[in-house]
Structure 1
Amino acid sequence: MNGSDFLALDPAAAPVRGRTVWLAGRLRAAIADGTLAPGARLPASRELAGELSVSRGTVVEAYRRLSEEGLLVTNRGGGTVVASLMSAPVRAATPEPTVPVSRELLNISIGAPDLSAFPRAAWLQAERRILATATGRELGYADPQGTPELREALAGWLARSRGITAGPERIIVTAGVTGALSLLCQVLRDRGITDCAVEDPGAEGNRRILDYWLDALHPVPVDAHGLDVSALARTKARAALVTPTHQFPTGVALLPERRRELIAWAEHTGGLVIEDDYDSEYRYDRAPVRAMHATAPEQIAHISSLSKVLAPALRLGWMIAPTTLHRDLVRKRWATDLGSPALPQLTLAELIATGTLERHLRGLRLRHRDRRDAAVAAINHYLPGCQIEGIAAGLHLVVFLPDHLHDTALAARAETEGIAVQPLSAHRFTPGRPGLVIGYGPHPAPRLDAAIKTLGTLAGLSPS
């Protein structure tokens, strides 16, 4: 009889058509009861498959499922081990009920994609093709505006996916959205524009970048229809940063009427609309929302990146600015750092040109929609009665809490329990309803359920 000394596994006990489920279940049970302690190393997949006389794919898939649940960790060169458990915080002896111990810090505070799905093999193959065929020109100093190959590929990508009809000569490759904002702020400042309007609530990270470069920020309220343009008109700002496709953090889309009002404001004041095309790639329950840029290219600077499709670590984004700003932006990029590294640009251009990027995105949409659904189900169960917004698109949602709860205090308590979550108030200028911003993209359903259950317990809302 075949078998393994590891956990005394006997494949004869497995169902004929369910060996992956059987193996994952045995491992999960062993972790739960302490048989496999934190840090314990599992056999190599090839080794265990040989002992059990099963395909290696069966073992690999079982390991992958438990890794997605946060139970296993694969270390480069170090094999697969049981994930460490977070120690319970030291508490004084009180009659208060204790919250179940959480696993390692669960960061549900950011709207990030599932980075475990990064197309490593496809990226490596494309990079090898580029290195095998790169010319002296391609390996030399790149155009500070970006490599021609990537700008050509992006022009097609943006036309197909966002309805933007800008030629490659109009695209400036940047170090992500942050790089685009920093570059734009410097050029605006050189032209005497030192104030900018921002959404309230709005992305705290973008706000910090603008605050670094400019003298004053003017918060403009966001309601169910997006940015309140009439309130914008009452400020002295000559630039306005907006997220019209999927507003961060509320998730609303700027209505067509508001878009027209915003463009009219820019035309009347000589102002600039900075369109951060945030989360435009992900939509689940609504039709695609086109980018604003095509409507008024001389009033709008369009900025975006593929950080939410591939990985933030690539630091690759782009900007399409009005022609009156374009030359100064390119010169500023040249004077700053001569532009972005060429090899990642050429590799990304290859992925776009071959259709690999679009196939990857289609798969991510399905995965992230399932995780969105899991997060919503957990919130309805563990935070009953709380309003959920922003679920039709993107990688995050907003949960509005009862008025008696303080979202900052709840987030601080959650951190002591191993849960990182953003309070909605961190993205506000002015006081408003308390809430939490929950990013679900990186996390499989069991991990989301555990994190949101902890939040419900801490908030005193979770059902007994």
Structure 2
Amino acid sequence: MATQYSISGTTAKGIAASVERAVADGGLEPGDALPPVRRLADELTVSPGTVATAYKELRRRGLVVTRGRGGTVVAAAPAVASRRPPKVPDGLIDLAGGHPDPAFLPDLPRLVTPSTGPRSHRSTPRLPELERRVRAWFDADGVPSGAVTFAHGALDCIARLLTTELRPGDAVAMEDPGYHHLLDLLQAMGLRTIAVAVDDEGMRPQALREALRAGARAVVYSPRAQNPYGGCFSGRRRDELVEVLRQTPEVLVIENDHAAEIAGSALNTLTDGGLSRWAQVRTVTKYLGTDLRWAAAACDPVTLARHDGRLLLTSGWVSHLLQAAVLTLLDDPSAQLLVRRAEDAYRERRGEVVKELGQRGIAAHAASGMNVWVPVRDESAVVNGLRTRGWWVAAGARFRMAAPPGVRITVAGLEPAAAARLASDFADVLGESEATYGG
């Protein structure tokens, strides 16, 4: 707790640095309360204004949050810490990682030879052959492909898009529950998140409308294979969301279609709805290879120019060797056959889990993608109970802002025959939990 760590410093910068060191070293943990402003000021013999300035800087950078009368506490995922999932205990079946089944990942090309001879990567940052292939990829799903670019993965692309538009303290409308790495990224960037509730059809229009009224300057969402809830936009939901977003043309809309080829559902994209500022981001990590840190984005011309201008000033370009590997796999018949098999297998596996849970009276959500979201009352009881039965699932806390509790089950590697045993164990754990804590 904060009382066990001595904060030091005589200036706002020094006090903030002391707290940051404590968070990084583990002296202060998520949820630990910092001393009240006046008390700390007295202890350090500085003015209350100096401590207040230090706390303000820590809030801006996402290290602490203020809870009204609850005081100032260390954030759940402070920006100086890496909120990695706990290591999977030996002997357990891992259903928590969110990873694809390796059996459906193609072998990476043994030898990829990009064009030889002198070439300017900065003047030609994208391989023309891959750019043409990407345009066709977007066109096939109705995403406007007039302006496309590449990045070092989806998170890299989204971060760059946001940094060109927003400043620390600005708000971003985010799915709730949502992808935990994105939530952590925004906090590390000093951006505020406004929770937007989701259901099986994705973001709820009224919740998005309220987030925009609350000042969100950007919206980030997944149109299908939403992680962790599994929702996918229906045609009706797509139209409703476009209507909401048209009322705020200055807001940047980022569509994260991270599992496009294995989502198991058609794309109902918002990007063709006449929005002013938008981008659709795709990657291949989930179905061509986890080491292929590459993403493509289609966007409006202004967004493209801002993204590429920032890219030029940092890494400059995405490795041509990496681009050549992606192009090879996108056009390789055997690799594409594996992708199609993966999509079918993931559809069957999540369907079996949802069916088996449903037969035991347990509601679950998995309209698309590789994950199943199961609402529960006590996440810890369920996670620990399943652990004793040989299963390792993800507690929902790291995905949630205001959403009710739940657990995420990654079913990508779960054979259909095992679904009944998992569901039976899940039902037993829920029964034990209710017996212990009351139904």
Cα deviation for residue 142 of structure 1 reads 6.2
Distance 2:388 2:418 in 1: 17
Cα deviation for residue 430 of structure 1 reads 1.4
* Closer/same/farther in 2, CA of residues 214 and 274 from structure 1, 3 Å limit: farther
SS at match of 2:372: strand
CA contact (8 A) 1:299 1:322 kept: yes
Cα deviation for residue 407 of structure 1 reads 1.5
Cα deviation for residue 308 of structure 1 reads 1.9
CA contact (8 A) 2:238 2:268 kept: no
| 1:105 and 2:92 matched | yes
CA contact (8 A) 1:145 1:330 kept: no
Q: Which residue of 2 aligns with 1:459?
A: 430
| 1:274 and 2:251 matched | no
Distance 2:369 2:432 in 1: 26
Distance 1:415 1:295 in 2: 46
Distance 2:118 2:93 in 1: 45
Q: Which residue of 2 aligns with 1:114?
A: 101
Query: Residues 343-398 of structure 1, C-alpha deviation per residue, up to 9 Å, x if partnerless?
Result: 121122123235454333212122223323443354346xx1101222x3211112
Cα deviation for residue 458 of structure 1 reads 3.1
CA contact (8 A) 1:421 1:438 kept: yes
Distance 1:221 1:376 in 2: 21
Amino acid of the structure 1 residue aligned with 2:375: F
CA contact (8 A) 2:233 2:267 kept: no
Query: Residues 81-113 of structure 1, C-alpha deviation per residue, up to 9 Å, x if partnerless?
Result: xxxxxxxxxxxxxxxxxxxxx972322124332
Cα deviation for residue 264 of structure 1 reads 4.2
* Closer/same/farther in 2, CA of residues 313 and 187 from structure 1, 3 Å limit: same
Report sequence identity in percent. Answer: 21
Q: Which residue of 1 aligns with 2:309?
A: 331
Distance 2:257 2:398 in 1: 21
Query: Residues 128-156 of structure 1, C-alpha deviation per residue, up to 9 Å, x if partnerless?
Result: 3x42x732257x64667432222211111
Distance 1:116 1:316 in 2: 21
Query: Residues 297-347 of structure 1, C-alpha deviation per residue, up to 9 Å, x if partnerless?
Result: 633211121122112221111222221122221121122212222112112
> Among residues 185, 188, 201, which one is paired with 2:177 in the alignment?
201
> Among residues 336, 342, 345, which one is paired with 1:367 in the alignment?
345
Query: Residues 196-243 of structure 1, C-alpha deviation per residue, up to 9 Å, x if partnerless?
Result: 111122222211112212431111222454323332332111111122
Amino acid of the structure 2 residue aligned with 1:331: G
Cα deviation for residue 178 of structure 1 reads 0.9
CA contact (8 A) 1:421 1:437 kept: yes
TM-score, with structure 1 as normaliser: 0.65
CA contact (8 A) 1:301 1:321 kept: yes
RMSD: 3.0
Q: Which residue of 1 aligns with 2:153?
A: 176
Distance 2:247 2:258 in 1: 26
TM-score, with structure 2 as normaliser: 0.69
Cα deviation for residue 275 of structure 1 reads 0.8
> Among residues 184, 187, 191, which one is paired with 1:215 in the alignment?
191
CA contact (8 A) 1:368 1:441 kept: yes
> Among residues 288, 296, 303, which one is paired with 2:281 in the alignment?
303
| 1:245 and 2:224 matched | yes
Distance 1:176 1:416 in 2: 36
CA contact (8 A) 1:411 1:423 kept: yes
SS at match of 2:296: strand
Distance 1:112 1:394 in 2: 11
> Among residues 242, 245, 262, which one is paired with 1:263 in the alignment?
242
> Among residues 95, 109, 115, which one is paired with 1:134 in the alignment?
115
| 1:444 and 2:423 matched | no
- How many residues get paired? 341
Amino acid of the structure 2 residue aligned with 1:421: V
CA contact (8 A) 1:244 1:277 kept: yes
Amino acid of the structure 2 residue aligned with 1:406: D
* Closer/same/farther in 2, CA of residues 199 and 431 from structure 1, 3 Å limit: closer
> Among residues 147, 150, 170, which one is paired with 2:130 in the alignment?
150
* Closer/same/farther in 2, CA of residues 136 and 208 from structure 1, 3 Å limit: same
Query: Residues 7-42 of structure 1, C-alpha deviation per residue, up to 9 Å, x if partnerless?
Result: xxxxxxxxxxxxxxxxxxxxxxxxxxxxxxxxxxxx
> Among residues 416, 435, 440, which one is paired with 2:406 in the alignment?
435
Distance 2:297 2:349 in 1: 31
Residue correspondence of structure 1 range 32-51 to structure 2 within 5 A: none
Query: Which is greater in Rg?
Result: 1
Structure 1: any 5+ residue segments left out of the alignment?
A: 1-101
Structure 2: any 5+ residue segments left out of the alignment?
A: 1-88, 434-439
Distance 1:202 1:342 in 2: 32
Q: Which residue of 2 aligns with 1:407?
A: 379
Residue correspondence of structure 1 range 18-57 to structure 2 within 5 A: none
SS at match of 1:438: strand
* Closer/same/farther in 2, CA of residues 208 and 265 from structure 1, 3 Å limit: same
